Chains A and B, each alone.
Chain A
Amino acid sequence: MSAMFKRFKREPLLPILIVLVMLCLLVFIVYPLFQIAKSSFVGSTGEVGLEGYQRVLSGGGLFHALVNSLVLAVLTATLSTAIAYVFAYTFAYVKVPFKKLFNGIAILPVISPPFVIALSAMLLLGKQGLITKNLLGLENANIYGLHGLVLVQTLSFFPIAFLTLSGLLRSISPSLEEASQNMGASRLKTFLSVTLPLSVPGIANAFLLVFVQSLADFGNPMTIGGNYSTVAREIYLQAVGSYNLQAGAALAMVLLTVTIIVYILQNFWVGKKSYVTVTGKPTGQRRMIESGAVKHGLFTFCMIMSLAVIAFYALVPIGSFIKLWGINNSLTLDHYKYVFSIGQKAIKDTLTLAIVATPIAGLLGMIIAFLIVRKRFFGKKALEVISMLSIAVPGTVIGIGYILAFNKAPLALTSTGIIIVAAFVVRSMPVGIRSGVAALQQIDPSIEEAATNLGASGSKVFTSVVLPLIKSAFFSGLVNSFVKSMTAMSAVIFLISAKYNLITASILAQVEAGRIGVASAYCTILILIMVVALILLNLLVKWMGGKERSA
């Protein structure tokens, strides 16, 4: 008792902080999920039953959507992981030019609006497509459907797999491979018997990450899915289109279950293994592949992929200046005029809400990371699980949960900015938590202990010892939050209102109405905002860094 009291006296704010954080998580993550679970069992007239689940699992349209989503996710994840592996391998093992370019290419899709690539795919490969019609003279190119989705999702998601794999491949100790080669194994044999097995956990990790992303993807199926219905889209049509909240909620629950199973698999099966090879101390430089067919093959592959990505991105700004793609290819500023007269509000709203959400998400992420890594308190495990839960919850599920949870008093938040900010924060925070946790784990607790022993309070230790040390994690969290908020779509499509319309919703509406030019103009502006924001945040980091050194 007295120990607790002492702790409380030394860190009077800690309990308050923990309670506040817990409250936030309960209100904005647990409660909406609970509401979905509840609604999935309650029909429109209030009767309790399994009707929703029966509709999902009875083999009808909803079941097809589920199967479709799984097929799409498997295909996308397989392709993405394969491409990402080649990229990552080239990065870590081959001496090729333009590595910076490849790296940039791989990161580009992360900062772009969700369906830039889908838009380009239509412009490039649709019936009026630059490649399909003008180059190949095809008459009946149809980009809508599974193949279009696989293409678009692979291009959008392989960077995620790349980021996972490149770290792992670079950290594989070269000594094992050298040993293998010294014993006379060929390069291929070494690759197959040493490198590949060592990267299996990373491959599985990358696969599962993309799998989940593909499963939860909303923008691409909406734009280019055609009649290939997927779960995220079907949830939207059920909930918003037909207002069948029971079926929508049941479908959301099924999607959530699949996602969580995947995450559990990842944690149990991969999570533990993935550090095995990384723990060893670095043992010198890897001998890079400098010549030969392998090098040229890999280089060519990476180059082609990069050019493809560039082509897809370049087309959007070009498309934004073209009057009517494929019909009237004269240049025009009309689309920008439209965006700046009619879409101004959406841009302003999105920017404002993202700017509000970014520091909250960044700070909350760091605080949660700090609590997880450094503090011991009742409910810590729950806090950890819940805060990470939001990464596993598909945006569509969050969105429908928010409609259900925040429609009525006491939490009548529909149509307010708060609900959108909350969705932004919840969606983007987990990445911040992860990088915060990673950063904190690298800091020896003894530094903090020293400070504490010298009499510093908990908050003092946090602000003057911990915070400076995790600054870079904090800023990368900020960048991520901003980018994620600006391009958020699946969760917020349920939450837009006359007061707050969002740019991604406007883009989707334009795509739906077939105004590819206007949609491209929106995307171009969005990308520009993102670039400016990244530059500003970078300057801010530099400025903060400079100030610190001088102090």
Chain B
Amino acid sequence: MGMKKWMSSITALTMAAMLFTGCGSAGGNNAAPANNGGGDAAPAKPQGKLTVYVGFQEDHAVAAIKKFTEDTGIEANMIRMSGGEILAKVRAEQGNPQADVWYGGPADTFVQATAEGLLQPYTSPIAEKVDAKYKDPDGNWTGIYVGALGFASNKEFLAKKGLEAPKTWEDLLNPAFKGEIVMADPASSGTAYTAMYTVLKVMGSEEKGFEYLSKLHPQIQQYTTSGSAPGRMVGMGEAGVGILFAHDVIKYQEEGFDSLELTIPEDGTGYETGAIGIIKNTKNEELAQKFVDWALSPAGQEVGKTVGSYQNLTNPDAVGPEKAVKLSDINTIDYDVVEAGKERQRLIDKWSAEVKK
């Protein structure tokens, strides 16, 4: 009897223990469950594991991380998110950073992050090769690629309606495009913010820019969360025209979307400087710096074109993809990354309140 009583007590205790480990271990210790190999609490080991937040397309990200590990022997975890999402996550984790490197996505978001003290400056020796307008003088971020904005139109749609592909921002206001245009939501997508800022510049003033955006709003069928989504939607014929980066349009074309036609706004287009930066208070600073060096090197920059990324590269020694739309061939606006970044939140709030009511 006594034995049995003990046994049942033990059973119950085990269950209580299971509860405690499964659920109650919130009590302070930070141990990850035993099932995962990527332990985070091993500061004694110098060869840590990098965590990277990636702001460009997933297949490119996976290939890049793999190549990085091959080239350097350093292991890395990554997750792909949109530019806005990364900024939000880095902000949220400010007190307890969960990632070491922020890799890709428009520099505007990096500028905002710099202003908020979320980045750790590092000037890579390779950064001196990068044109000054593609990097932060204090080394908070460095450009890795550059790509212009464009319009993607569905050829069938154009043919059916007897339209030409839009060549200027004004063209998008053509009533024939009503409900046919897709772009991302500037609040969540760096691409869409680049477009919005570009419009303000092209129209000449913030006031005129917002006037234009208000006129554009009824033309929009949908604001997507991610910046490249409009290309797919137009490619699939879900929408007539999309606003997105030219390199994403080319990527879709290469993937088989023959229906896509790419035009670059002649009255001026903006471009993104895809950047890289180190997140403040990283626990792996040395490795993070190695990652930045690698990402700026020709080896790191040329990964993109192997998986169908068609941006221009910032390292003059790197050979960019042939199909890329060269900035020198088009009418680019004077894109002030610093201003764009500083004004980002205000302009997005204004847009949300006044345009996308």
Residues of A in contact with B (beta carbons under 8 Å apart): 12-13, 16-17, 20-21, 23-24, 27-28, 60-61, 64, 126-128, 139, 142, 144, 222, 226-227, 237, 239-243, 323-328, 338, 341-342, 349, 352-353, 355-357, 359-360, 363-364, 367, 403, 406-418, 421-422, 425, 455-457, 459-460, 462-464, 496-501, 509, 512-516
Contact = CB atoms under 8 A, between A and B. Distances in A.
Interface string B1-38: 10011001101110110111011111010101101101
Interface of B: 1, 4-5, 8-9, 11-13, 15-16, 18-20, 22-26, 28, 30, 32-33, 35-36, 38, 40, 51-53, 57-59, 62, 77-80, 84-85, 87-89, 91-93, 95-96, 98-99, 160, 185, 187-188, 220-226, 228-229, 231-233, 235-238, 255-259, 345, 348-349, 352-353, 356-357
B16 A16 contact: yes
A338 B59 CA distance: 9
B26 A360 contact: no
B12 A463 contact: yes
A338 to B, nearest CB: 8
A460 B8 contact: yes
A311 B259 CA distance: 28
A457 B7 CA distance: 11
B180 to A, nearest CB: 10
Nearest to B189: A241
B8 A509 contact: no
Contacts of A27: 23-24, 26
Contacts of A349: 36
A463 B88 contact: no
Given A226-B222, A412-B30, A509 B58 contact: yes
A325 B236 contact: yes
A222 B229 CA distance: 13
Nearest to B50: A498
Contacts of A359: 18
B8 A24 contact: no
A498 B78 contact: yes
Given A360-B23, A413-B26, A498 B99 contact: yes
A234 to B, nearest CB: 10
Given A326-B237, A412-B30, A512-B229, A499 B51 contact: yes
Given A497-B51, A500-B36, 5 more contacts: A242-B88, A327-B235, A327-B256, A414-B98, A415-B98
Contacts of B40: 415-416, 499
A349 B33 CA distance: 12
A460 B5 contact: yes
B257 A324 contact: yes
B300 to A, nearest CB: 19
A421 B22 contact: yes
A410 B36 CA distance: 22
B84 A13 contact: no
**Most chain A CB neighbours (cut-off 10 Å) among B20, B62, B79, B224:** B79
Contacts of A364: 19, 23
Nearest to B220: A227
B4 A460 contact: yes
Contacts of A515: 232
Most buried by B among A64, A242, A326: A242
Nearest to A122: B238
B23 A241 contact: no
Given A241-B84, A352-B36, A464-B8, A21 B188 contact: no
B19 A498 contact: no
B26 A60 contact: no
Nearest to A357: B22
Given A241-B225, A459-B12, A501 B79 contact: yes
Nearest to A241: B188
A462 B23 contact: no
B236 A241 contact: no
Contact of B85 (A241, A457, A460): A241
Contacts of B59: 338, 342
B314 to A, nearest CB: 25
A522 B218 CA distance: 35
A60 B32 contact: no
Q: Which of B35, B85, B353, B356 has the most CB of A within 10 A?
A: B35
A242 B11 contact: no
A356 B35 contact: yes
B13 A13 contact: yes
Q: Which one of A127, A462, A512 has the greatest number of beta carbons of chain B within 10 Å?
A: A512
Given A323-B256, A499-B77, A509-B226, A407 B92 contact: yes
Contacts of B51: 497-499
Nearest to A342: B62
A453 to B, nearest CB: 15
Nearest to B58: A342
10 contacts: A13-B9, A13-B12, A17-B16, A24-B19, A144-B222, A243-B91, A324-B256, A407-B93, A460-B8, A512-B226
B238 A457 contact: no
Scoring A21, A355, A498, A509 by chain B CB atoms within 10 A of each residue's CB, the highest score goes to A498
Contacts of A342: 58-59, 62
A328 B226 CA distance: 24
Contact of A513 (B220, B226, B256, B348): B226
A536 B229 CA distance: 39
Nearest to B1: A455
Nearest to A140: B179
A498 B98 contact: yes
Given A325-B236, A513-B57, A416 B30 contact: yes
A506 to B, nearest CB: 9
B337 to A, nearest CB: 20
B22 A499 contact: no
A128 B232 CA distance: 12
B32 A327 contact: no
A418 B99 contact: no
Given A20-B20, A421-B33, A498 B256 contact: no
Scoring A24, A324, A406 by chain B CB atoms within 10 A of each residue's CB, the highest score goes to A324
